[in-house]
Homo-oligomer: A and B are copies of this chain.
Amino acid sequence: MTHRHRALTPSLAAATLAVGLLLPSPARAELVTKVVEYKQGDAVLEGYLAYEAGGPAKRPGVLVIHDWLGVGPNTRARVDQLARLGYVAFAADIYGKGVRPKGPAEAGKLAGQYKGDRALLRERVRAGLAELRKVPLVEAPKVAAIGYCFGGTTALELARSGADVAAVVSFHGGLDTPTPADAKNIKAHVLVLHGADDPYVPAEQVAAFEAEMRAAGVDWQLVKYSGAVHSFTIPDAGNDNSKGAAYNAVADRRSWQAMKALFAETLQ
């Protein structure tokens, strides 16, 4: 699947519908996936949609917000996983069509640019949410947003913008914001999944976030996973904690489970 999508030319992408039988098992429905071109203002964005063929006519939706590398294989894999759980899942594109950083330096610069312009960041993610809501399969009020690293920060910023989302989940996202008072706008149930040894999201930032949520009366939960640093759900991140970012299979599995539990509570 992934390879096929990576091989798509940009011109084909917008209108291409990919349907694949993943397994011969009769229990598995076909996965419908689609690269979706949409806009925010004048910016052209390119997201990725997936859902299971057949099944109910209306389903809860989940918006997935990419890490600093943009919509890539890891993001699409999460969208597919969510589709397999019965959701209509859509990866929002924050950076713009064709804007895909080549490595950490470029990614850091780009993510930093959007983190430094929260108004634009909110517009971009809200455009993604609007795009997801347009999918006829989506049961309108039952929409959640999740995000990874930069995307976790963005998911929280989406909630602070007052977006009508039932739940927001951050996987190893930065928790800081220039406008903590905006927490009063949050309608979502908030779940923060945090590596206990994440050097990029230090204890002081976690404490400030808790204080922000508490002051605004938000329904929030925060889970700390031992032995986990930044990027703990990203398979490409390697296994060297001393680098500050590394994959952790246990924390990956547990955090996915925690997300599912919140969705079972808020999206049914």
Residues of A within 8 A of B (CB): 2-4, 6-12, 26-29, 52, 54-56, 59, 84-87, 196-197, 203, 207, 210, 213-214, 217-227, 250, 253-254, 257-258, 261, 265, 268
Contact = CB atoms under 8 A, between A and B. Distances in A.
Contact of A6 (B7, B10, B86, B257): B86
Contact of A219 (B3, B29, B85, B226): B226
B9 A26 contact: yes
A229 B218 CA distance: 15
Contacts of A3: 85-87
Contacts of A26: 9, 11-12
Contact of A268 (B2, B9, B27, B220): B2
A219 to B, nearest CB: 6
Given A197-B214, A221-B226, 13 more contacts: A2-B268, A3-B87, A6-B59, A7-B27, A8-B29, A213-B226, A214-B226, A219-B227, A220-B226, A221-B223, A221-B224, A221-B225, A254-B261
26 contacts: A2-B268, A3-B85, A3-B86, A3-B87, A6-B59, A6-B86, A7-B28, A7-B29, A7-B55, A7-B85, A9-B26, A9-B54, A10-B54, A12-B27, A196-B214, A196-B220, A214-B226, A218-B226, A219-B226, A220-B226, A221-B224, A221-B225, A257-B261, A258-B258, A258-B261, A261-B261
B254 A221 contact: yes
Contacts of A218: 226
Q: This chain: how many copies in the complex?
A: 2
B27 A250 contact: no
Contacts of A257: 261
A157 to B, nearest CB: 19
B226 A223 contact: no
A84 to B, nearest CB: 7
A215 to B, nearest CB: 11
Nearest to A87: B3
